[in-house]
Amino acid sequence: MITLIDYGAGNLASLEGALDRLGLEYVRAERPDQGAETGPLVLPGVGHFEAAQKALRDRGWWREIPGLVADGRPLLGICLGLQLLAEGSEEAPRATGLSLLPGIVRRLGPGVKVPHMGWSQIQPNIPHPGLPDAKGAWLYFVHSYALDPGRETVYTARHGRPFSAVEARGTVMGFQPHPEKSGPAGLLLLQSALAWMGAAAPTPEAPCN
């Protein structure tokens, strides 16, 4: 069972629609005690880094997430959710991230329109056992900040400069694009990531003969 972390700063409706299309079971949880006892955690997000951090603190998630990951729970961050997994962000210099992924999130540019709202191609950086070869796939982005590519970067994209589109370390993964809004390529990445994390569509019951 997938736990969708609901802290009031994520567009959960479109993500829930994508999970429904994929036939994946999930529960929406405003607080840790409302989540599933096992299975992947999904941290979506839009908006400001510090406001999201405060909302996660207020609902008990900020303290709980690192412990759940240490206990082996897989975690997928999406858009701002990826940025919160990093060490920090230029958007909120006084706030710290969860430090589950390396690096500081930096503003995009210079020389390009920010926020970046639209489609960009992704290119492979390192292989990952849970993700397909998505070289050249177009995904949908809405963001002003991103991680620089590094050793943990699975796919890169470009908007004024290269940035990390998908980041992974251990059982923690982050998507900077919105896979649920990225058509078949995005759904394939989302399905592949969650399947690798242990989520699977229910097996149909065998018919009676």
- List, by residue number, the catalytic residues: 79, 178, 180
Q: How far apart are CA 84 and CA 53, in angstroms?
A: 7
CB of 168 closer than 8 Å to CB of 154: yes
Structural contact between residues 102 and 109, judged by C-beta atoms closer than 8 angstroms: no
Tell me the whole-structure pTM to 2 decimals.
0.94
Tens digit of each residue's pLDDT, the chain (209 residues): 999 999 987 679 999 999 999 999 999 999 999 999 999 999 999 999 999 999 999 999 999 999 999 999 999 999 999 999 999 999 999 999 999 999 999 999 888 999 999 999 999 999 999 999 988 999 999 999 999 999 999 999 999 999 999 999 999 999 999 999 999 999 999 999 999 999 976 544 444 44
pLDDT at 8: 87
Sequence-separated (6 or more) residues with CB below 8 Å from residue 207: none
| Nearest C-alpha neighbor of 117 from the set 50, 207, 66, 46 | 46
Residue 142 near residue 185, CB atoms below 8 Å:
no
Distance between CA atoms of residues 132 and 191, nearest Å: 10
Q: What is the pLDDT of residue 110?
A: 87
Per domain, the residue ranges of the chain are: 2-196
Q: What is the homologous superfamily of the domain 2-196 according to CATH?
A: Class I glutamine amidotransferase (GATase) domain (3.40.50.880)
